[in-house]
Amino acid sequence: MLTLRLAFRNILRQRRRSILTGLSVGIGYLVCCVAISMSEGSYSNAIRFFTEDTTGHLQVHKKDYLRRPNVHKHFALEDITESLTDVRIAAYSARLFAPGLAYAGDNHAPANIIGVEVETEPLVTRIEEKLTAGKFLPASYEINETMPALVGAGVAELLEVGVGDELILISQGGDGSVANDIFTIVGKIGTRTSGDRHNVYLPLLAAQNFLTLDGRIHEVVVRVNDIHDAIQVATNVQQQLDITATDIVVSPWQTVQASFFRSMESDKRANEISLGIILFIVFIGVLNTVLMSVLERTREFGVLKAIGSRPWTIARLITIETSILAALGLVIGVILSIPLIWWFATTGFDMPEPIDIGGVKMQSMRGEFSLDVFIFPACIVYVYALLVSIFPAVKAARINPVDAMRST
């Protein structure tokens, strides 16, 4: 208790040095919070844009479909609907896939034919946001009408077609027959460089009729409320499916897009190195401030040792003073950080050149506002402050009283 009172007395007596130490800790904490917030925010935003483009947060397929897609690896949506009851699931949509050729006049182009549920697909991906011409697929159409199609910008350019033009698709049916039919283009999607430039989207029922796969699908895309729950929800759904459908697999986006996930993890490791450098600068700044405080009080420590104070008492005094100043500095840092991080998370700033992710323009950079953004740097900075106090504390404890009192 005596050491604690003495520590507070020294802090008040050396106001200038105490303010410098507290500001050093507070500013270091602020910089760490901003760095972590922007790192986690950019990481989360990139994942959100990528997964909500086409991948979704979870995907359900037949076993081995991801590694070796095949038109015959299909199942019925009814086989899995009872397993998609997790409260964390926001929406899901069925799809059908087939490779094919697209013709218009004398032009032809390869096409990825994708059947989608018109009403539920926009709930799991950003497909409607990527429309560049025309409109989205209609929810219903007359039987005697030409079936609608939504084409990627690459297919439209190669075939030299636009909204309202006719499109001929040829593929292989599920029964081994040749599938071919005429469709009317109702809209164009994406850009010449986006991942969906060679896609042709059809209403799911039209695609099933075209490929003679009535009531069958290849994939179910699932969107969860919180992307961080993707692996846990996938595990939960898989456990329920194993009871009724042992040949169906649920994969989180980390498995579906493994290469993208690895690249994002590598980028995150690089950000952690940058954060380590920032923390090292904070470490040096606090160390310099505390060490200068000890050197200025050499005579004081010499007197304390001369009247019988033990080296451990002096070392503990330095450590307590530093811990108090670090705590006060963190309070200042939190007060300054909350409005700044909130602004980064809600408003952010516009980038000079927008990033194109699957045809969706990511133009603003935002941070993340979460408890981890504030708690993690607080723990690290506080521990760093205590660590840097060890060397000055040991130096003060080993002072020779005679030499100390002779110093000026």
For residues 292 and 345, state if they share a domain: yes
Last residue of a domain, which of 246, 280, 306? Answer: 246
Whether 253 maps to a domain, the answer reads no
Range of the domain at 38: 2-51+261-406
Please report which confidence band the pLDDT of residue 115 belongs to, taking 50, 70 and 90 as the band edges: very high
Whether 79 maps to a domain, the answer reads yes
Residue 24 has pLDDT above 50, yes or no: yes
For residues 222 and 311, state if they share a domain: no
Pairing of strands 58-62, 199-203: unpaired
Whether 271 maps to a domain, the answer reads yes
Question: 173: helix, coil or strand?
Answer: coil
Whether 255 maps to a domain, the answer reads no
Residue 283 has pLDDT above 80, yes or no: no
- Integer Cα distance of 408 and 406 in angstroms: 7
For residues 327 and 221, state if they share a domain: no
For residues 226 and 269, state if they share a domain: no
Per the model's pLDDT, the better-predicted residue between 49 and 309 turns out to be: 49
For residues 320 and 382, state if they share a domain: yes
For residues 287 and 354, state if they share a domain: yes
For residues 111 and 133, state if they share a domain: yes
Number of domains in the chain: 2
For residues 305 and 376, state if they share a domain: yes
Please report which confidence band the pLDDT of residue 207 belongs to, taking 50, 70 and 90 as the band edges: very high
- Integer Cα distance of 216 and 219 in angstroms: 10
How distant, in Å, are the alpha carbons of 48, 241, 320 from that of 131?
19, 35, 62
Whether 182 maps to a domain, the answer reads yes
Last residue of a domain, which of 246, 269, 291? Answer: 246
Burial of 333: CB neighbours in 10 Å, binned 0-12, 13-18, 19+: buried
Residue 6: alpha-carbon gap to chain centroid: 48
For residues 241 and 265, state if they share a domain: no
For residues 266 and 396, state if they share a domain: yes
- Integer Cα distance of 45 and 351 in angstroms: 14
**pTM of the entire structure?**
0.72
Whether 177 maps to a domain, the answer reads yes
Report the 10 Å Cβ neighbour count for 82: 12
Last residue of a domain, which of 217, 246, 275? Answer: 246
Please work out, in degrees rounded to the nearest 5, the angle formed at the alpha carbon of residue 285 by the alpha carbons of 282 and 291.
Answer: 135
The mean-pLDDT minimum among 42-46, 174-178, 348-352 falls in 348-352
Nearest alpha carbon to residue 122 among 192, 215, 187, 75: 187
> Is the four-CA dihedral 57, 155, 112, 98 of positive or negative sign?
positive
Q: According to the model, what pLDDT value does residue 5 have?
A: 60
- Helix H or strand E encompassing 278: helix 258-296
- The tokens for 378 are 């607080």
Question: 166: helix, coil or strand?
Answer: strand
Residue 10 has pLDDT above 70, yes or no: no
- Integer Cα distance of 27 and 278 in angstroms: 11
Mean pLDDT, range 125-146, rounded to an integer: 82
DSSP letter string over 107-130? EEEEEEEEEE-TTTHHHHS-GGGG
